[in-house]
Amino acid sequence: MMNNQLYRSALLIPRANEDDQAFQRVTEPPPTGESATSATHVEAYPSCQSNDDLQHLKDLFFHSKLNPNFDWVGLCLVHQHDYKFWANVTHTLGMLILKTLFNSDVPFEDSHAFGLSDCNYVNGVKVRAAFVLLGGLLSNRLPGSLRLIVRGNGYQFFEHRIGRLLRDIPDFDEDAICFNMNALRTLLPFLQECTTVRLNSLCHRFITSGFWRVMWMEVGMGLKSACSTQRLKLFCNFLELASTIFFGSRSSTFFKRMYTSCANSLWDPVVLVLSWALGPRACCNMVTFVADILLMSHQDGCLDDLPGSCLDSLHKCITTTVSEGESYLELYDSQTLDERNEFRHHYATIAVSMLKSLDKVLTCQKNRTIEMALGDLYDISSLGTAKMTLPPFPGSTEQTGPKFDFSEWRVFPRVLPCFNKECTRILHLDMPELHIDGELPDFRYCDQCGIPSYCSAECASAHWDSYHKEVCGFFRAPPTFARFMPHSPDDGIVVLQTMEDNWMMTPFIDEKGNLLTLF
């Protein structure tokens, strides 16, 4: 078993050559000619700053050396969309970031003297810096970075964090919970690359967890009596997470089994919470969540199995909410300019339109003519309301925006940087028109671990010889020190745990021993 000391040695071996090469890259002029236009090359800040920041991070994590002038708190902002920087962070410090965070609950021997211990102070700085870097890895969405986090049981780590934060009910940190929920949404697709993950079990554990009940009964019901911007954000993020988990982890029989055994556990919270008292914005998100479930149920061929009592309760709730929304719009028309709330009216108009579309869908389902309303169902689902920064289809003149324009812009810049330190190529998967030479680079992942990406076989070979061969085995199967080990709280109450304790993130391997990747 490779330990922490061997990993540190593996990364420190080429440090002398790396420093010389970094200085040479800074002093050399930018590339010209054909090689300069073969792929996108975007630098919003000097490369020397990236090298300096990376060196300061190495000093902190490898040598526990602090630089008082280093602004590690602002790294995510300074290096946002600096994909080469985050590629270097992933390859050089990824394991140590996971180790620092996943072992942050383990006290030092002298933890009782935290204020007097230099060791504890430096360790605290490492933990805070690791959280900042982890946020940067998640926000820049490099597939190799996300794949490494998942293999280190990062998905279980964020679930554990949510459980700990929710133990402070009713005074929990909404922003922190939102961060962890968004992390789960970001990492969920990469669970499909693990042979040992049973996604259907994950979906069932989520809907029966204490987290599910707290979000509906504590947060959702609380919004009906007292409006709170932070709680509204938390509840909307929860609905998006729930839709993502249902879309990505359910089996084709999940909703059918729910409808034939315990349909009320799914629909009763929806009927209890859905009301105009939530506010127009929350109503939009609620309608989208309901539409997602109905759309998935129709896709799985089990929408007709929805019990009539649940359908009637939901339809009655929607009808009442539509009536309340229309009353609000009529009141708005009679108000003076000083009394009007333009922001609320904007979302109220959208919410009433979406509620009417959902009412039409439920009416058609009762009459067994759901095919007539599938277009309306799609428009109000998250598939129809999400605004993504993706290019339109070639030759399409139709409007590509959503019909119900209430969601925020969701940026999914599927980007692959070349991990070779001597190469500046970056592949934009969703915007190939940025590659101005007309020929896309031959991007590929490392066959053994799937973490670093390369624009050519030459770059892969060069990076293997200079840096990667020493750490590839660690990336393929992270050692124990870089994996999060879930543990039960002292009182035994687990708020959210959708995976079993013994689940390991084992990737798919083909007959030749090469690792298979989906993204």
Q: What residue numbers bound the domain in which 154 lies?
A: 1-18+43-168+418-519
Spatial distance between the Cα atoms of 443 and 65, rounded to a whole number of angstroms: 37
Joined together, the tokens standing for residue 502 give: 């013994």
SS (H, E, C) 438-501: CCCCCCEECCCCCCCEECCHHHHHHHHHHCHHHCHHHHHCCCHHHCCCCCCCCCCCCCCCCCCC
Spatial distance between the Cα atoms of 417 and 142, rounded to a whole number of angstroms: 8
Q: DSSP H helical segments within 152-279, as ranges? A: 154-165, 174-187, 199-207, 210-213, 221-225, 229-249, 254-261, 263-273
Average pLDDT, stretch 314-340?
85
**How many domains does the chain contain in total?**
1
SS (H, E, C) 415-441: EEECCCCCCCCEEECCCHHHCCCCCCC
Spatial distance between the Cα atoms of 217 and 447, rounded to a whole number of angstroms: 47
Backbone angles phi, psi at 427, to 5 degrees: -100, 120
More confident residue, 2 or 360: 360
Angle between helices 118-140 and 83-102 (to 10 degrees): 130
Domain assignment present for residue 449? The answer is yes
Tell me if the bond preceding 413 is cis, omega within 30° of 0: no
Domain assignment present for residue 360? The answer is no
Task: State the pLDDT at residue 1.
Answer: 38
- The DSSP-derived string for 66-107 is --TT--GGGHHHHTTT-HHHHHHHHHHHHHHHHHHHHTTTSP
Q: What is the pLDDT of residues 388-436, one digit of tens each?
A: 444 444 444 444 555 555 555 555 557 889 999 888 888 877 666 665 5
pTM: 0.81
According to DSSP, the residues that pair with 194 across neighbouring strands are 507
Task: State the pLDDT at residue 437.
Answer: 55
Q: What is the pLDDT of residues 48-92, one digit of tens each?
A: 566 788 888 888 888 888 887 778 778 888 888 888 999 999 999
Spatial distance between the Cα atoms of 182 and 246, rounded to a whole number of angstroms: 15
SS (H, E, C) 23-40: HHHHHCCCCCHHHHCCCE
Joined together, the tokens standing for residue 485 give: 């080990």
Average pLDDT, stretch 275-301?
92
User: Where does the pLDDT of residue 123 fall: very low under 50, low under 70, confident under 90, or very high at 90 and above?
Assistant: confident
User: Where does the pLDDT of residue 125 fall: very low under 50, low under 70, confident under 90, or very high at 90 and above?
Assistant: confident
Contact 113, 493 (CB under 8 A): no
Element (H, E) at 410: strand 409-410
Average pLDDT, stretch 273-277?
92
Spatial distance between the Cα atoms of 392 and 400, rounded to a whole number of angstroms: 7
Joined together, the tokens standing for residue 167 give: 């133990």
Average pLDDT, stretch 255-264?
89
Cα dist. 114→9, 79, 109, 125 in Å?
Answer: 29, 32, 10, 12
Domain assignment present for residue 115? The answer is yes
Number of Cβ within a 10 Å radius of residue 455 = 24
Contact 297, 306 (CB under 8 A): yes
Domain assignment present for residue 278? The answer is no
Helix (H, G, I), strand (E, B) or coil at 222: helix
Torsion angle defined by CA atoms of residues 289, 162, 141 and 26, in that order, rounded to the nearest 10 degrees: 150
Helix (H, G, I), strand (E, B) or coil at 303: helix
User: Where does the pLDDT of residue 8 fall: very low under 50, low under 70, confident under 90, or very high at 90 and above?
Assistant: very low
SS (H, E, C) 165-182: HHHHCCCCCHHHHHHHHH
Average pLDDT, stretch 304-311?
91
Joined together, the tokens standing for residue 399 give: 């409007």
Domain assignment present for residue 305? The answer is no
Domain assignment present for residue 108? The answer is yes
Q: What is the pLDDT of residues 469-505, one digit of tens each?
A: 999 988 988 888 888 887 776 666 778 888 776 566 7
Domain assignment present for residue 378? The answer is no
Domain assignment present for residue 51? The answer is yes
Instruction: Work out the mean pLDDT of the chain and round it to a whole number.
Output: 79
Q: Which residue in this structure is represented by tokens 């053994």?
A: 448
Residue 305 clears pLDDT 50, i.e. is over it: yes
Q: What is the pLDDT of residues 166-183, one digit of tens each?
A: 887 777 888 999 999 999
User: Where does the pLDDT of residue 110 fall: very low under 50, low under 70, confident under 90, or very high at 90 and above?
Assistant: very low
Q: What is the pLDDT of residues 462-474, one digit of tens each?
A: 999 988 999 998 8
Task: State the pLDDT at residue 395.
Answer: 46
User: Where does the pLDDT of residue 376 fall: very low under 50, low under 70, confident under 90, or very high at 90 and above?
Assistant: confident
Spatial distance between the Cα atoms of 204 and 217, rounded to a whole number of angstroms: 19
Q: Which residue in this structure is represented by tokens 């988990």?
A: 245
- The DSSP-derived string for 98-131 is HHHHHTTTSPPTTGGGGGG-HHHHHHHHHHHHHH
Spatial distance between the Cα atoms of 470 and 207, rounded to a whole number of angstroms: 42
